[in-house]
Structures are given as structure tokens and as C-alpha cells.
């Protein structure tokens, strides 16, 4: 019995979903729980219904469908998951590939009638990106008990709307309680979003874990005054403090060296006028490292410097943590099994940590979890030019299918032995 991935069918779905929230120059903007997200959810759940699967959603809008096992049970499925929300300048592949690739795996299994010992599910989780509401990985974090439901429902987005109101506005919240989806194992196919695989011409990244993430928002308050008349020693310039924090974040990353990274993604001044010293500056800093110890050192240095810069300017400063996740290691047996399966399919692979956050990290403490990466052209993501070629995607999905089938288990007879190919030909 041979499962053949139909890459054309998958690409049609990727492009169809990418049309929802399409941006004028390519890519798309489908922020979590927006009208575009609603349309994306409708399209994807429609495909799940077409496969004859029951679709379930929990109170925070996480959505899944389970193909029962050979005995008709849907308990403890092997779950393939990711997200269909995007950042404001997103591409067609980040998250979407893991969900639509999962649907392709299930459709290919249905086509050949492969029966499994464990059920197999595909899922998408609410607000993985954290671009509209913080923190990121919100839905999967709530589902796995790492984030508190009430706190997350109260989280107010960059547009002033709460998660709770946004869920109601698009009617995304379902009847299932938090934690209703209980995977036996969790697998996530994703684009790498960095340059490693492409640079080394490698087919597959076998992801060993995800680095720690620390997001802070600083609000610095000084005094608005006239840009022409106020002598420099009399100023309390919140903008200068913000600029100093940005440079310190950069310096920390330079001095600590890789894998330390630091990003100032948002900075806003009030009143934001050419001839007024800014009264208030608001900014975010994203720090990440694979080592929790080093990440803590980076945070301590940044936070101390922020206070010192603020004191010098006679400003006040407040810091709010927007997200904080420790580094996560994936299940070593599952990681090995992915590497072994890649080699059996004739694909080159490399074990590597993930620089980006993923829903898989929320499942890792609860069940064996791991991820498969495929290359990203020019290492670019969170950018409308994000791209992975269909033949590279086909390898990732075929590998996902192989690992899922082996996790789910089939009757080990000659006739039931299942092989997987990345070719569309079903003969």
C-alpha cells in the first residue's frame, strides 16, 4: 500500500488560502481573529468537512478534525498542527503549510484506505503569531495549560480589542473545553524561516527544539516641550531613552553572539511631531536564545540599562512582559525517527533548533512532539516574499505522512505495509 502526496492539490489549497487577506504586492495579512481569519477558518474547515471529518473548536477557537482509527475511536490521536493566522506582512507558507500539509496527509490516507491503530488529526491554533494579541502561541498555550484562559481572553490587542470580543465578533469560539484535544504525539511541518537549509542545500530540517522567547514592552514618560526653545539640559526626552534601549538590545546581541538575537519591532512616540520633544515613547524588545541562562543574562542587562537611561533623562519607565517562554527540547525518540524516515525517503537532513516560536513547543511538555522544516528561499519569512518551492514542500509533506503513519501504526502485514512517496501519481 502506497500513500502518494498530491502536491498539486496541496498547492491549490495554499494559493486559495493565500488569497484571503492578500496584499497588493503579494503575501497576505490575516491577523488572528480578524474578518480575514474568519474567512480563512471557513475555507479550511470546509475542506475538512469535504473529507467527511467532524470539525471541533474549543472556547478559544482552536479547531481540529480527527480521522478515527481502525476501531472507530477518536481518542488520543496523532496530531498534525500549526496555525493559519499571519503577521501583517505575512507570506503564504508560515503556519499554513503545517495545516494544509496535514490535510493533504489525511486526504492521501483516506484515498488509499490506510487504517491506523491510532486516530490521526489535523489542527490549527488561535493566534500563534502574537502579532495582534500577545503572547504568541496563545491558543496552543491555553490548550496545553501553559497559559491561563481567562487572562488570554482579557488580552487586549494592538487595536484595543480584547481576544474575547474578537472571538465573539467572528464567532470563532466553539463548545469544546480547553484541553479537549489530547494528542498521543504532535507533529508540525513548517518552513524554516531562516537561511540554514538553503545555504547548505539540505532538504529537511529535523527540529531538536525551540529557543526561549522574551517579549517586553517599555513605556517611557518624559515631558513634551518645544524643540527649538528648550535647552538640552532641561529636557526629559523619552525618545532618547527609547533609542538607547534599542541600541543596547543590538549591543547585547553583538556581544553575546549567536544564537542571541534582539529585535525592536515597534516604537511609537507621542505626540509624534517634528518640533515637540516626545512626552511618551512605547517600544517592544524581542530577545531570544536557546539557553535559558543566557536569555536571563540578556534580560537582566537590558532591563538595568533601560532604568539607567531613563534616570539620566529624568523620565519614568514601565516594563510589561508580553511573552516569556523558556527554551523547549523536542522528544529525542521522535526526532530520531524523523531523521531516520528522511533518510529512508532519500532526503538529506540536518538537526537544528528553531529560531521561531511554534505551537509544537506548547505540546512538547505534554506529549512526544517534534517538527519538520523545509527550506525558505533567501531565509526570508514574516515578509510577503516568503517562498518555498513545491518540490521542497512535497518532500516535507511526504516525510510528515511517513512519520504520522509510523506514529499512528498500521497492521504489520505484507499487504498493509505502507510506503510513502512525494509523487502525485497514485498508480
CB neighbours of 21 closer than 8 A, spacing ≥ 6?
28, 29, 30, 34, 36, 37, 39, 40, 86
Total of chain residues touching Mn ion, rule CB under 5 A: 3
Nearest-angstrom CA–CA distance, 187 and 340: 15
| 2-4 vs 419-421, strand pairing mode | parallel
236 is in an annotated binding site: no
| Closer to ligand GLV by Cβ: residue 90 or 278 | 90
49 is in an annotated binding site: no
Classify residue 330 by its DSSP letter: P
| Cβ pair 192, 393 in contact under 8 A | no
| Cβ pair 338, 399 in contact under 8 A | yes
| Closer to Mn ion by Cβ: residue 64 or 93 | 93
Classify residue 378 by its DSSP letter: G
Q: Does 328 bind ligand GLV (CB under 6 A)?
A: no
Q: Does 357 bind ligand GLV (CB under 6 A)?
A: yes
CB of 135 to Mn ion, least distance (A): 13
Nearest-angstrom CA–CA distance, 108 and 106: 5
Q: Tell whether omega for the bond before 80 is within 30 degrees of 0, i.e. cis.
A: no
The single residue among 36, 136, 192, 359 that binds ligand GLV, judged by CB under 6 A, is 136
Nearest-angstrom CA–CA distance, 275 and 258: 40
Q: Which does 357 bind (CB under 5 to 8 A by kind): Mn ion, ligand GLV, none?
A: ligand GLV
248 is in an annotated binding site: no
| Cβ pair 136, 213 in contact under 8 A | yes
| Cβ pair 176, 59 in contact under 8 A | yes
Q: Does 90 bind ligand GLV (CB under 6 A)?
A: no
SS3 assignment, position 86 = coil
CB of 60 to Mn ion, least distance (A): 17
The contact mask relative to Mn ion for 108-137 (x = CB under 5 A, - = no) is ---------------------x--------
Q: Does 198 bind Mn ion (CB under 5 A)?
A: no
| Cβ pair 215, 357 in contact under 8 A | no
| Closer to ligand GLV by Cβ: residue 342 or 371 | 371
56 is in an annotated binding site: no
Total of chain residues touching ligand GLV, rule CB under 6 A: 4
CB of 381 to ligand GLV, least distance (A): 8
The single residue among 94, 136, 188, 331 that binds Mn ion, judged by CB under 5 A, is 94
Q: Does 172 bind ligand GLV (CB under 6 A)?
A: no
| Closer to ligand GLV by Cβ: residue 47 or 215 | 215
Nearest-angstrom CA–CA distance, 5 and 424: 6
The contact mask relative to Mn ion for 52-91 (x = CB under 5 A, - = no) is ----------------------------------------
| Closer to Mn ion by Cβ: residue 129 or 248 | 129
The single residue among 129, 188, 192, 359 that binds ligand GLV, judged by CB under 6 A, is 129
CB of 354 to ligand GLV, least distance (A): 8
Q: Does 362 bind ligand GLV (CB under 6 A)?
A: no
| Closer to ligand GLV by Cβ: residue 252 or 287 | 287
Classify residue 162 by its DSSP letter: B
CB of 418 to ligand GLV, least distance (A): 33
Among candidates 251, 263, 258, 266, which has minimal Cα distance to 301?
251
Cα torsion 129, 132, 133, 139 to 10°: value is -40
Angle at 210 between CA 299 and CA 177, to 5 degrees: 100
Residue 349 CB burial class (10 angstroms; 0-12, 13-18, ≥19): buried
| Closer to Mn ion by Cβ: residue 89 or 316 | 89
| Cβ pair 172, 38 in contact under 8 A | yes
382 is in an annotated binding site: yes
Nearest-angstrom CA–CA distance, 347 and 341: 9
The single residue among 91, 95, 244, 375 that binds Mn ion, judged by CB under 5 A, is 95
Taking the CA atoms of the chain, what radius of gyration do you get in angstroms? 23
Q: Does 85 bind ligand GLV (CB under 6 A)?
A: no
CB of 330 to ligand GLV, least distance (A): 16
CB of 283 to ligand GLV, least distance (A): 17
What cell numbers appear for 328 in the block? 523547549
Which stretches of the chain bind ligand GLV, using CB under 6 A?
129, 136, 356-357
User: Residues within the annotated binding site for Zn(2+)?
Assistant: 83, 94, 129, 190, 382
Which stretches of the chain bind Mn ion, using CB under 5 A?
94-95, 129
User: Residues within the annotated binding site?
Assistant: 83, 94, 129, 190, 382
Amino acid at each position: 500500500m502506497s500513500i502518494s502526496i498530491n502536491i498539486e492539490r496541496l498547492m491549490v489549497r495554499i494559493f486559495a488560502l493565500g488569497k484571503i487577506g492578500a496584499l497588493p504586492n503579494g503575501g497576505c495579512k490575516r491577523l488572528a481573529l480578524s474578518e480575514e481569519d474568519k474567512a480563512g477558518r471557513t475555507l479550511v474547515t470546509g475542506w475538512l468537512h469535504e473529507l467527511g471529518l467532524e470539525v471541533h473548536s474549543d472556547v478559544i477557537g482552536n479547531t481540529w478534525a480527527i480521522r478515527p482509527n481502525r476501531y472507530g475511536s477518536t481518542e488520543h490521536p496523532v496530531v498534525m498542527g500549526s496555525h493559519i493566522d499571519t503577521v501583517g506582512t505575512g507570506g503564504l507558507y508560515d503556519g499554513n503549510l503545517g495545516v494544509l500539509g496535514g490535510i493533504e496527509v489525511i486526504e492521501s490516507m483516506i484515498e488509499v484506505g490506510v487504517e491506523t491503530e491510532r486516530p490521526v488529526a489535523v489542527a490549527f491554533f488561535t493566534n500563534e503569531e502574537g502579532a495582534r494579541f500577545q503572547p504568541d502561541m496563545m491558543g496552543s498555550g491555553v490548550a496545553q495549560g501553559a497559559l491561563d484562559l481567562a487572562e488570554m481572553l482579557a488580552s487586549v490587542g494592538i487595536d484595543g480589542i480584547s481576544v474575547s470580543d474578537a472571538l465573539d465578533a467572528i464567532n470563532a469560539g466553539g463548545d469544546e473545553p480547553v484541553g479537549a484535544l489530547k494528542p498521543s504525539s504532535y507533529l508540525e511541518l513548517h518552513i524554516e524561516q531562516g537561511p540554514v537549509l538553503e545555504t547548505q542545500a539540505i532538504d529537511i530540517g529535523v527540529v531538536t527544539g525551540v529557543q526561549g522567547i522574551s517579549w517586553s514592552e517599555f513605556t517611557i514618560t518624559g515631558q513634551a516641550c518645544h524643540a527649538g526653545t528648550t535647552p538640552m539640559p532641561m529636557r526629559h526626552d523619552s525618545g532618547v531613552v527609547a533609542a538607547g534601549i534599542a541600541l543596547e538590545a543590538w549591543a547585547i546581541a553583538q556581544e553575546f553572539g549567536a544564537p542571541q538575537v534582539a529585535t525592536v519591532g515597534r516604537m511609537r512616540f507621542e505626540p509624534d511631531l517634528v518640533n515637540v520633544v516626545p512626552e511618551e515613547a512605547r517600544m517592544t524588545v524581542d530577545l531570544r536564545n536557546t539557553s535559558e541562562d543566557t536569555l536571563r543574562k540578556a534580560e537582566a542587562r537590558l532591563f538595568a540599562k533601560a532604568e539607567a537611561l531613563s534616570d539620566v533623562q529624568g523620565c519614568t519607565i514601565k516594563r510589561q512582559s508580553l511573552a516569556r517562554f523558556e527554551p523547549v527540547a523536542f522528544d529525542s525518540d521522535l526526532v530520531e525517527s524523523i531523521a531516520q524516515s528522511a533518510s529512508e525517503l532519500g532526503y538529506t537532513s540536518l538537526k537544528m533548533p528553531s529560531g521561531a516560536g511554534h505551537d509544537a513547543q506548547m505540546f512538547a511538555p505534554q506529549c512526544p512532539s517534534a517538527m519538520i522544516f523545509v527550506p525558505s528561499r533567501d531565509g526570508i519569512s514574516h515578509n510577503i516574499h516568503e517562498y518555498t518551492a513545491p518540490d521542497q514542500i512535497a518532500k516535507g509533506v511526504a516525510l510528515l505522512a511517513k512519520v504520522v503513519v509510523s506514529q499512528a501504526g498500521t497492521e504489520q502485514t505484507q499487504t498493509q505495509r505502507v510506503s510513502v512517496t512525494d509523487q502525485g501519481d497514485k498508480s
